[in-house]
Structure 1
Amino acid sequence: MKNHKYLLPILLVIIAPVLSSLENVSVDLHLLITGTKSAGIPFEFEQKVIFSYKGDYQNRFVGVAFDYELYREIHPFFRNENGVFMFVLPYNEIPEDITDITYRIIADGLWIPDPVNPWTFREDSGIKVSRISLRYRQTVKEYPYIDKKDGIVTFVFNGPGSNNVFLAGSFNNWDPFMFPMEESAAGYYTLKLRLMPGTHYYYFLYNGEKRRDTRNPGRAIDPEGFAVSVVTVP
């Protein structure tokens, strides 16, 4: 009984912030969160990212940690009446330059990749992590995105998933295979490069076919008469 005496206040402290956050969501989102019966891949709803996890009924605590916070903070989930742990991440709590979220699930102290998210990979450290792509941000954000601090340019190509996509440009002598792009989410291919200040020309090679960057209004014609995209790094 002594253990139970101290366990209840601890659980209330952990869950209370999550419960209070549910008071500020719409009726539709509240019904979605409380009515979910099985875990699924994180998805976007009303400019929020919805995470879910369902282990077993013995799980006492489930949380999530993000790479953009260097995994230093664990955000607790709320368990609904169906036994599914839920977490709502508002867009305004995500740094503005983030379009892909890499994360890990913490279940009773065990750090694991999201078991229902197929977009799982190993970091350079060898640790398995999961990733999701913020599609809303990718559709409204201007690309390629240029980080003016260090000249890193983020290129994004959108197309059918599970295909080979490469980036070729004046910065790599138009080599069509030097820079493969990573499919960070279904149909979303990304690549970050540090480019020298100046004007650069490029195109995507999608399954062997040249594609101009439709997100980028800047364009030019190469010597072969093909339309390419233009990016200028300040």
Structure 2
Amino acid sequence: MSKTAKKSEPREWTASTEFSCDAPHAGVVYLAGTFNDWDPTAAPLTRRADGTWAISLNLPPGRYEYKFVVDGEWCCETAHQGCPKCVPNSFGTMNRVVEVPA
């Protein structure tokens, strides 16, 4: 009797990627980006004791653009004009970029 190796489905590896935002006076902060179709309420951050907000997402390897939504307002649009990890978007503002390694 011969044994046949069962082919498994290819796995997409994911990496825990942390995002944080310094918004000590905010009531609520969300993360929106290419990983969640820019849904401004899909990923709520948790407030830390020091006033920063954070969330960890398991993302497959790749390049992602994102923004924080602070109290309903897309933030950090012009503050990061010189940021090496930011890129201009089609609205004339900036998106942050994160690269998740393979």
State the TM-score, normalized to the length of structure 2: 0.73
Which structure 1 residue ranges, 5 or more long, are not aligned? Answer: 1-148
Q: How big is the shift at 1:150?
A: 4.9
Aligned to 1:226: 93
The offset of 1:199, in angstroms, is 0.5
**Runs of 4 or more off by more than 3 Å in structure 1?**
none
- Asked if the contact 2:14/2:61 (under 8 Å) is kept, the reply is no
Match status 1:209 vs 2:76: no
Query: How far 1:186 moved relative to its partner?
Result: 3.9
Match for residue 23 of structure 2?
159
Aligned pairs, number: 85
Distance 2:21 2:92 in 1: 22
CA distance in 2, matches of 1:223, 1:194: 27
Q: CA deviation at 1:161?
A: 3.6
More strand per residue: 2
Secondary structure of the residue that 2:35 maps to in structure 1? helix
Q: Report the Cα offset of residue 162 of structure 1.
A: 5.1
Which residue of structure 2 lines up, in the alignment, with residue 144 of structure 1?
none
State whether structure 2 residue 46 is matched by structure 1 residue 179.
no
Relative to structure 1, the CA distance from residue 220 to residue 189 in structure 2 (aligned partners, 3 Å threshold; closer, same or farther) is same
Deviations 1:136-185 (A, max 9, x none): xxxxxxxxxxxxx9511100111224511000000000000000100021
Q: Which has the higher contact order (CA 8 A, sep 6+)?
A: 2
Unaligned 5+ segments in structure 2 are 1-12
Bigger proportion of residues as helix: 1
Which of the residues 53, 56, 59 maps onto 1:195? 59
Per the TM alignment, residue 187 of structure 1 is displaced from its structure 2 partner at its CA by 1.4
Task: Note if contact 2:26-2:70 (Cα within 8 Å) is conserved in structure 1.
Answer: no
How far, CA to CA, are the matches of 2:50 and 2:69 in structure 1? 18
1:191 positional shift: 0.2
- State the secondary structure of the residue aligned to 1:185: coil
Q: Using a 3 Å threshold, how does the CA distance of structure 1 residues 162 and 205 change in structure 2: closer, same or farther?
A: closer
- TM value normalised by structure 1: 0.34
Amino acid at match of 2:68: F
The Cα RMSD (Å) is 2.1
Could you tell me how far 1:224 is from its partner in structure 2? 1.6
Amino acid at match of 1:230: V
Query: What pairs with 1:55-204 in structure 2 (closer than 5 Å)?
Result: 150-161=14-25, 163-204=27-68
